[in-house]
Amino acid sequence: MNEINKFIEMVEESDNIVFFGGAGVSTESGIPDFRGVNGLYLNDYDGLKPEEIISRPFFDRYPEKFYKFYRDKMLFKNAKPSTTHLVLAKLEERGKLKGIVTQNIDGLHQMAGSKNVIEIHGSVHRNYCMTCHKFYDFNFIADSTGIPRCECGGIVKPDVVLYNESLNENDINKSISLIQNADMLIIGGTSLTVYPAAGFVDLYRGNKLVLINKSETSFDSKADLVINDSLGKVFEALT
């Protein structure tokens, strides 16, 4: 049996599936990942490393440069859900998939119709004034120039987890519980290099751990099934 048929069989046998995904889920929606073949980390930006720009110390020190990069490279106004997003939403509707834990910040799972989505790195759709906590939407930041300011004068910061910032404890606990109780864990489109998220792999206790990624990851040997192919192709096969 080939790998994709094996994957389909595992999905059919399961009714408590959890999907844990990363930037590779959205490359087919036209949003570049960080470490893939066209990843953002391949090129410096204004002479700076992207991973330095999206860190909290950089944000605090050079907010104007941060927002220039953020608007230019991290906001995709016209992005639409890919096959993978749409099939995952259908699996939830059918009662087979119980939740999605994503490292993505683009909101495409919700746009596809998924309900139980835990965004452990936050979302570009939520932005808050650092002074009065007033909420601002995606367009407010996308259409702003320079440093986006609240009506109270405070800086409006995306609710996105930067390097050197901690993750939301409640989200982590919910993710742990979902993964520990899953009968099938599908991990897709993540290089599994960012901790503590990568540590989620070790929490799964079942025998249907599937890793779908275009390239190899250091967790491949732990998986029951590894598919080194595009997510769109694999999820299309479920339709």
Q: Which residues are marked as active site?
A: 121
CB of 153 to ligand CNA, least distance (A): 29
Q: Does 119 bind ligand CNA (CB under 6 A)?
A: no
**Residue 21 or residue 148: which is nearer to ligand CNA going by CB?**
21
Decide if 21 contacts 190 (C-beta within 8 A). Answer: yes
Report the residue number, 148 or 188, with the smaller CB distance to ligand CNA.
188
Length in residues, the chain: 239
When binding is defined by CB under 6 A, the residue of 20, 69, 106, 187 that contacts ligand CNA is 106
Single out the residue of 150, 133, 130, 153 nearest to residue 141, CA to CA.
150
Cα distances from 221 to residues 79, 99, 210, 216, in angstroms, run 34, 24, 11, 10
Q: Give Dmax over CA atoms of the chain in angstroms.
A: 62
Cβ count near 196 (within 10 Å): 12
- Per CB under 6 A, 194 contacts ligand CNA: yes
In this chain, which of 4, 7, 19, 33 binds ligand CNA, going by CB under 6 A?
A: 33
Looking at 110, 114, 127, 213, which residue binds ligand CNA (CB under 6 A)? 213
> Which residues on neighbouring strands pair with residue 163, listed in sequence order?
55
Q: Of the candidates 14, 83, 104, 175, which one interacts with ligand CNA according to CB under 6 A?
A: 104
Which token pair is 53? 């720009």
Helix (H) or strand (E) holding 136: strand 135-136
Q: Based on CB atoms, which residue is closest to ligand CNA, 150 or 191?
A: 191
Of the residues 110, 114, 127, 191, which one makes contact with ligand CNA according to CB under 6 A: 191
- Name the site residues for ligand CNA (rule: CB under 6 A): 22-24, 26-28, 31, 33-36, 39, 103-106, 121, 189-191, 193-194, 213-215, 230-232
